[in-house]
C-alpha cells in the first residue's frame, strides 16, 4: 500500500487534470474554523473520481490547545476508530491511500505517518521530512486506533 500526502491545492490540481490514481482511497481532513470565515467552504468533492473517501472535519490542534476548545485527548477526534477501520478496509482491498488536509503538512502527514508506522514501521520517514509538521495528537489517535483494530481482527 502506497501512502501519499497532499494539500487541498495539490489534490484539486490532480483532480482537474484527470490524473487521479486508480485503486486509491482518500482520507480528507478539512477545517471547521474556515466555515466561519468563508460560508462556501466545504470539503473537497471527490465524487466522480474516488468512491472510497473518509471525510474528517477536524481542527489542527496541539495537545496544549485542546482545553481551549473544551476538549480533552479522549474527546478530540472521536472518529479515529472509524478511520482505522476504513484504513484496514482499504488495505484489505489492496488500495493505496491519499491523506489530504488543507496544507498537506500537519493532519494529513500525521495520518500518513501513523499508517506507515503501523503497517511498515516507517512512520519516522514523515517526521524526518522537513516538508511536514505532523500533528502529534492526530498521529497518536490514528496509530492507537489502528493498533486497536488490529487487535480486534486477531481476536
pLDDT, position 44: 87
pLDDT bin (cut points 50, 70, 90) of residue 38 is: low
Distances in Å between the Cα of 28 and the Cα atoms of 8, 31, 64, 124 are 9, 10, 24, 21
pLDDT bin (cut points 50, 70, 90) of residue 62 is: very high
pLDDT, position 34: 56
pLDDT, position 33: 65
Q: Is the dihedral of CA 33, 88, 141, 9 positive or negative?
A: negative
pLDDT, position 135: 98
CA angle 36–110–34, rounded 5-degree value: 5
What mean pLDDT is reported for the chain?
Answer: 94
Containing structural domain, residue 40: 3-154
Q: State pTM to two decimals.
A: 0.94
Spatial CA neighbour of 108 closest among 94, 85, 129: 129
What mean pLDDT comes out for the span 21-34?
Answer: 89
Total structural domains within the chain:
1
With 80 as the cut, is the pLDDT of residue 40 above it? no
What mean pLDDT comes out for the span 4-30?
Answer: 96
Spatial CA neighbour of 101 closest among 78, 140, 133, 125: 133
| Helix orientation angle between 107-120 and 136-154, rounded to the nearest 10 degrees | 30
| Domain of residue 21, CATH code | 3.90.190.10
Which letter does DSSP use for residue 103 in this model?
A: S
Spatial CA neighbour of 32 closest among 42, 40, 23: 42
pLDDT, position 119: 98
| Tens digits of residue pLDDT in 107-138 | 999 999 999 999 999 999 999 999 999 999 99
Amino acid at each position: 500500500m502506497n501512502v501519499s500526502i497532499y494539500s487541498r491545492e495539490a489534490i484539486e490540481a490532480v483532480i482537474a487534470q484527470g490524473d487521479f490514481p486508480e485503486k486509491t482511497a482518500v482520507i480528507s481532513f478539512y477545517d471547521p474554523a474556515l466555515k466561519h470565515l468563508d460560508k462556501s467552504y466545504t470539503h473537497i468533492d471527490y465524487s466522480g473520481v474516488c468512491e472510497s473517501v473518509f471525510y474528517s472535519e477536524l481542527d489542527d490542534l496541539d495537545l496544549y490547545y485542546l482545553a481551549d476548545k473544551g476538549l480533552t485527548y479522549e474527546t478530540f477526534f472521536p472518529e479515529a476508530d472509524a478511520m482505522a477501520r476504513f484504513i484496514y478496509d482499504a488495505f484489505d482491498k489492496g488500495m493505496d491511500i491519499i491523506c489530504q488536509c488543507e496544507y498537506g503538512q500537519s493532519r494529513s502527514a500525521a495520518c500518513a505517518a501513523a499508517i506507515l508506522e503501523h503497517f511498515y514501521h516507517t512512520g519516522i520517514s514523515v517526521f524526518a521530512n522537513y516538508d511536514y509538521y505532523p500533528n502529534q495528537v492526530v498521529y497518536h489517535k490514528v496509530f492507537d486506533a489502528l493498533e486497536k483494530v488490529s487487535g480486534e481482527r486477531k481476536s
